[in-house]
Chain A
């Protein structure tokens, strides 16, 4: 069955889809990937940014940092909205801290995925042989990610416990539509079928199949697909299945293993888009000899640590596959779909209430901010909070303009990097989905529709609550 699928894709997907001839040569001006791996591994081992993050993690105390901005005010929830303009200084500080927490909750979730995907793909390179340094660097990065996640989680929990009370922030971020339940036999059957297809479609998969993935298969009844991280993967069961399919594909082919690093690069750059601004803020404070809050310092060292990871993502995703046979049309197809998917889910939106958030799921975040405004810290009634959400998403304001500018910066970075990928579809090479998501008139038109839906749903829910209580 596998070979039948391979045949089908070979006949329907041809290199001329991109308009650029397939070519497996790496530009001569670049050093070999092996040389870069050795240099990066050596520099990363010599650095001690992770240890510094661990020290800050060990000693974090919210009270010591509560009276200071952790980044420029632009990096605050609801920045630029009428509510923000009228907020008290204490509330503005809280919105700034909660922005940090919000961002690093997402980063921690994405890094959980990274620890797994690094190991899945490192296993493929290990099976290929001759990539010992790459394997060691990925192992080191995985350990570093664990320290990062730990620090983010500690700061996030202490901060939100203080500002909102234990468990409140997590509850606000929880999606009501995902209910825990016993998995159905259908779900397990579907997962097995997807695994069968993923493996069947890949040539020689048994020779390079990731030992880490094989180990997971023996431990779990279905391979875990840690969701809610980058790419907003797993927002529902359909995308969870798709993610699981990708994990098995990344772990079964050297080309696809290397292409996972293009997705990781997109995550690295999205993080850098936010974190480099905190980094510059930290440098500014240092020069002024002003107090540096611990979370600001964590961001500073994290950016430095992640510079190694970004470098690796770039070289593995862009250069490494030139050392192997040309990828099959099916492999190129999967690589394109993954980039298209991330563009569509994570980069195509422009959130009016959370600057620098490009997820295309505005309605969920309207709900998040609506609930947040009703917490004692902000003290709004339900109708007042709804009015603030309508102002935030229904009117153009400075926060939205700031977000559009940052979105454009990231778009330029991606277009520059992905231009030379000959096998990418034009929609991916030029990041056309992402570009369409940054247009303000379109954002405002979409917000108008979503806001109407959100208002109707909220009013209906409120009236049902009142009716039930009565």
Chain B
């Protein structure tokens, strides 16, 4: 059975909301000031700091933010803003001020970031079982092939 069928069956069995509806996100455009406030509150809670002690121009890394927290924040920002974000965006936007300005501009410019529909997802997944064990092993052994060619 193709992998895609599992997901098709699953949706029918669960009888839950159609996936397109369940996953639809509405982009919430926020001002830089609102995003800034959200980030200050988030950082203060995560690091048990007084919100007033947070400097919006201080590098995130200087607050001791590690890779795991960086990814967590971007995930929670996605929920807050209702759009898909680059999980590494903090690496290129060093502090609260720069990141808030960027996100305010970014969300304002989004026409409506449509996620892939279930049909598209199933289509993408449809070919998995066309790969034989041999094809899969061949792909995984690419490195050995290269080494021995």
Residues of A within 8 A of B (CB): 29-31, 36, 39-40, 43, 48, 51-52, 54-56, 58-59, 61, 63-64, 105, 108-110, 112-113, 115-116, 146, 149-150, 153-154, 157, 170, 173, 178-183, 219-222, 224-229, 234, 283, 286, 289, 291-292, 294, 297, 300, 303-304, 307-308, 310-311, 314-315
Contact B23 A58 (CB under 8 A): yes
Asked if B82 is at the interface (CB within 8 A of a chain A CB), the reply is no
Residue-wise, chain B 93-109 has the 8 Å CB interface mask toward A (1 for contact) of: 01000100000000000
Chain B hits for A36, CB < 8 A:
146
Q: Cβ of B84 and Cβ of A150 under 8 Å apart? A: yes
Report how many residues on chain B are interfacial, defined by Cβ distance under 8 Å: 59
User: From A106, which residue of chain B is reached at the shortest CB distance?
Assistant: B68
Q: Does B110 contact A (CB under 8 A)?
A: no
Asked if B19 lies at the interface with its beta carbon under 8 angstroms from chain A, I say: yes
A43 — which chain B residues lie within 8 A by C-beta? 142
User: Are A180 and B68 touching (Cβ within 8 A)?
Assistant: no
B residues with a Cβ closer than 8 A to A are: 1, 3, 6-7, 10, 14, 16, 19, 22-23, 43, 47-49, 53, 55, 58-64, 66-72, 74-75, 84, 86-88, 91-92, 94, 98, 115-116, 118, 120-121, 124-125, 128-129, 133, 136, 139-140, 142-143, 146-149
Which residue from A55, A297, A304 sits with its C-beta under 8 Å from B139? A304
Determine the residue in chain A with the shortest Cβ distance to B88. A115
Q: Tell me how far the C-beta of B56 lies from the nearest C-beta in chain A, rounded to whole angstroms.
A: 13
B58 to chain A, nearest CB (A): 7
Specify the main secondary structure of chain B where it touches its partner: helix
Tell me if B62 and A52 are in contact (CB < 8 A).
no
Known: A55-B121, A303-B140. 14 other contacts (CB 8 A): A29-B148, A40-B142, A52-B124, A52-B125, A58-B115, A59-B19, A59-B121, A61-B22, A110-B67, A116-B88, A173-B68, A180-B49, A225-B61, A226-B66
Are B6 and A31 within 8 A (Cβ)?
no
CB distance from B54 to the nearest CB of A (A): 9
Q: How far is the CA of A310 from the CA of B146 in the complex (A)?
A: 12
> CA of A58 to CA of B68 in the docked complex: distance in angstroms?
21
A54 touches B61 (CB 8 A): no
* Shortest distance between the CB of A277 and any CB in chain B (Å): 13
**Chain B residues within 8 Å of A31, by CB:** 146, 149
Q: Is the CB of A226 within 8 A of B142?
A: no
Q: Is the CB of B64 within 8 A of A51?
A: no
- Among B67, B71, B91, B129, chain A packs the most CB atoms within 10 A around the CB of B67
Which residues of the other chain, B, contact A225 by a CB distance below 8 angstroms? Answer: 61
Contacts of B140 in A (CB 8 A): 303-304, 307
Smallest CB–CB gap between B149 and chain A, Å?
A: 5
Q: Determine whether the beta carbon of B6 is less than 8 Å from that of A291.
A: yes
Chain B residues contacting A154 (CB-CB under 8 Å) are 75
Task: Say whether A58 contacts B121, CB under 8 Å.
Answer: yes
User: What chain A residues lie within 8 Å of B143 (beta carbons)?
Assistant: 307, 310-311, 314
Least distance between A311 CB and chain B CB atoms (Å): 4
Q: How many angstroms between the C-alpha atoms of A170 and B75 in the bound complex?
A: 13
Q: Which residues of B contact A222 (CB under 8 A)?
A: 59, 61-62
* Complex Cα gap A88–B17 (Å): 31
Q: Bound complex: CA of A39 vs CA of B55, how far in Å?
A: 48
Q: A55-B121, A116-B91 are in contact. Are A289 and B47 (CB under 8 A)?
A: no
Instruction: Please list the 10 inter-chain residue pairs (A to B) with the smallest Cβ-Cβ separation, ordered nearest first.
Output: A180-B47, A55-B121, A109-B67, A228-B66, A112-B67, A311-B143, A149-B87, A180-B64, A224-B61, A227-B66
Residues from chain A with a CB closer than 8 A to the CB of B43 are: 180
